[in-house]
Copies of this chain bind each other. A is one copy, B any other.
């Protein structure tokens, strides 16, 4: 069994509208997961890449099989995922990333990530995978691609009490991906420089 971090409610949380200080028509009430699902669908349809969000892992305990209707899960619990949420293939490369957002103004809390996600990204990098995180600052309606390498450096600093990555560092070292119409969050464009 698995308590969601910060006591947040998973199913409602992910659908909650994000208040933006600079709202635009394209992203009213949009959160990062929705923006990325749209983006990945755009990539797939346009033959650019095949990238999917993994389903939420559930421990299924009880299932009813009513006659003439669909099987119904009546008892299940959220499990800790052993991987990041997103992976797929782009230009022959294995792509793997986690996506998180914050309402903070000046820094991104490291508490948004979990040990198993860090371990998973480290493992994937060893095998030649392209690993990164997409971090969204909801208030500014923008997001950045930060390489897993850079995230690991900051993660290691938790031991010295570091709790977040300053926005000033992110602005300087990560690649900004503005929210647009189509695709909503063109994060693959941000990878071109790495892959070439």
Contacts and interface: CB of A to CB of B under 8 A. Distances in A.
A129 B87 CA distance: 12
A191 B49 CA distance: 23
B128 A89 contact: yes
A89 B55 contact: no
A52 B79 CA distance: 15
Given A57-B55, A94-B92, A124 B50 contact: yes
Nearest to A93: B94
B75 A74 contact: yes
Is the interface on chain A under 10, 10 to 19, 20 to 34, or 35 or more residues? Answer: 35 or more
Contacts of A92: 93-94, 127-129
B73 A58 contact: yes
Interface in A82-126: 82-83, 87-96, 120, 123-124, 126
A79 to B, nearest CB: 8
12 contacts: A2-B70, A9-B63, A11-B63, A50-B123, A50-B129, A55-B57, A70-B78, A73-B73, A74-B75, A88-B124, A90-B127, A92-B127
Given A56-B60, A92-B93, A127-B92, A9 B50 contact: no
A101 B71 CA distance: 22
Contacts of A4: 71
Contacts of A54: 54-55
A76 B77 contact: no
